[in-house]
A and B are shown apart, each in its own frame.
Chain A
Amino acid sequence: MRHEDYKELLALEATGALEAGERRALEAHLPSCAECRAELRELSDAVATLAFTVAPVAPPARLRARVLESVRAVDPSEMRAVDPSEVFAQGKAVGDGPNLRRAPGAGDENADDWRSVVKRFGLWQLLTASPSLSFGAAVAAIAFVLLGATTLFTWSRTRTLQGEVARLSEHLKESQAESARAREQVAGMRAQLSHASEMSDVMASPGALVERLAGKGVAPQAHALVAYDHSTGRAVLVASGLPPAPDGKAYQLWLIADKKPMPGGTFKTDADGRARMSDRLPPGMTQPAFAVTLEREGGETAPKGEMYLLGNAS
């Protein structure tokens, strides 16, 4: 293909509309053509702005906590550098997805990887042992014998290594399972710690307000504390004595200002009826009140369910 032909492909690549064969051809061309790279960058930046035409929707607060917690469970040593063309390539699975440690099963894939590496290594040995034609027929004959010997050697060596790899991957599986358990514990403790430090951060901020919430008729024994920083909107809730939320339901925090309830995050309780949540609420409310209702799990934009907790400022 000529340079002009590749230029024709750039817009389709940026849009994610290129067929696999054409994409491979383009990827082979790009490293040698600064002009096409520059144009592809410009078109990719342009097409990505289409995301701005879609109305933004805030994901539920619990998702933020889940995301932040899940990355803590990923060992930094597992963070990988990936070929950038892979990362920017459109319309295909990128890499093999989040590399969270899945203890069982992961070892098998590793064993396969290793086998192919070992096999490739064998092939490399063969290639380096293969003769150059310029040495003539005699040399070639000797080399052929050597080649045969190398092949045999490589073959038996490969089998030994395969056995070794299988044993190692067995070990690896066990220790992965162990470290996954340890990491879960650490993640749990970190979450508690980060919550505690978030709470003290919010309470120490100059715009901090703390409101005590009392249980309503449905849960008279429940109570909670909400700390809210009106300069940033950061809020932390600690609750106890709440009955467990039924399946598909969750508690939701509301900030009430001028009698208008604004939605906060949703949360569930632990087995003891306790809950903790960090949230982002609209900032700038200097005389807020807080309430907690039981809503559907994704949260509502206006309260519909029964009220469980209400602040004494309300």
Chain B
Amino acid sequence: MCSLNLVSGIKGLSLARPQSDAEDAALVRAVAAGDERAFASLYDRYSSILFGLLLRILHSRAEAEDVLQEVFLQIWQQARSFDDSRGRAFTWLVTLSRSRAIDRLRAANSRERAAQRSAEDAPPAAEGEELADDAAERSERAEVVRGALAELPEEQRQVLLLAYLDGMSQSEIAAAKGQPLGTVKTRTRAGLKKLSEALRARLGEFAV
């Protein structure tokens, strides 16, 4: 069974710019039809944010560049499989990027190396590097997300970021923080639910 308020909640989650979600989905559908221009637009729209994410996970420019190229090839090849009933197009892009980056991290068993590298090869600051067009929209979104994230208790925020952005498994987090596995799982669940609710609550201020 599927309650009505859940469905409206999902529609409501499209963050900050609902029409930009529709544009994204339309771009992905055009890519599925083999449209190279749509593919280039998708790249121009999201390569910076995905590259930032990949650098954050991999701590290596060379590896982040490799993975970004792989991800966009995968987008080109699998756009037909994108199903917007399972999530936004942006979610799909982020999920693909994150999975590939974490696969690479695990394959090379290189998290320690990544941690070392993060000290010596920190990703450069974003100032002045991103395309001016989308910068305002992106920082608006970043503001919304940061605000929502700030509503979470510290320990929930931590486990969520360790799991999602550092690709640590729940047992790795438990070991690293010296907490019982059950506690880590509960915090991840509670944290993500709270984040999702906080994002939805913030939508009111930003709806176009």
Contacts and interface: CB of A to CB of B under 8 A. Distances in A.
Contact of B13 (A46, A63, A74): A46
Interface string A226-261: 000000010000000000000000000000000000
Contacts of A52: 49, 138, 141-142, 144-146
A149 B46 CA distance: 60
Contact of B61 (A93, A284, A298): A298
B109 interface: no
B65 A59 contact: yes
Q: Is the interface of B mostly helix, strand, loop or mixed?
A: helix
Contact of B69 (A11, A12, A47, A70): A70
A15 B192 contact: yes
Interface string A87-109: 11111111101111000000000
Interface in B45-101: 47-53, 55-56, 61, 64-65, 68-70, 72-74, 76-83, 85-88, 90-92, 94-96, 98-100
A28 interface: no
Nearest to A18: B170
B7 interface: yes
Identify which of B9, B61, B86 gathers the most chain A CB atoms within 10 Å of its CB.
B86
Contact of A56 (B52, B185, B199): B52
A99 B75 CA distance: 11
B128 A38 contact: no
Interface residues of A, number: 73
A50 B52 CA distance: 12
B68 A63 contact: yes
Given A15-B163, A55-B126, A87-B81, A35 B69 contact: no
A69 B164 CA distance: 31
A12 B170 contact: yes
B10 interface: yes
Given A38-B7, A43-B192, A70-B69, A48 B131 contact: no
B123 A55 contact: yes
A47 B47 contact: no
A59 B51 contact: yes
B132 A43 contact: no
B94 A48 contact: yes
Identify which of B87, B188, B193 gathers the most chain A CB atoms within 10 Å of its CB.
B87
B48 A53 contact: no
A94 B125 CA distance: 31
A147 to B, nearest CB: 40
A133 interface: no
Given A8-B189, A68-B36, A49 B145 contact: yes
Contacts of A98: 70, 73-74, 77
A94 B100 contact: yes
A280 B129 CA distance: 11
Nearest to A8: B189
A59 B48 contact: yes
B189 A12 contact: yes
A306 B125 CA distance: 24
A171 interface: no
A83 interface: yes
Contacts of A39: 6
B27 interface: no
Contacts of B142: 52-53
A284 B131 CA distance: 12
Contacts of B102: 16, 91
Contacts of A37: 2, 85-86
A93 B85 CA distance: 22
Nearest to B6: A38
A43 B196 contact: yes
Nearest to B132: A282
Contact of A60 (B65, B74, B195): B65
B204 interface: no
B124 A301 contact: yes
A48 B91 contact: yes
9 contacts: A16-B102, A17-B188, A39-B6, A48-B88, A51-B53, A57-B55, A58-B48, A67-B68, A71-B72
List the 5 closest pairs (A to B, CB-CB), nearest first.
Answer: A98-B73, A34-B2, A46-B196, A55-B126, A56-B48
Given A51-B52, A78-B77, A98-B77, 18 more contacts: A34-B2, A35-B3, A45-B88, A46-B196, A48-B87, A49-B199, A50-B160, A53-B145, A57-B123, A58-B131, A64-B43, A79-B34, A91-B102, A92-B103, A94-B96, A94-B99, A98-B73, A233-B131
Interface of A: 8, 11-12, 14-17, 34-35, 37-60, 63-64, 66-68, 70-72, 74, 76, 78-84, 86-95, 97-100, 233, 262-263, 280, 282-284, 298, 301
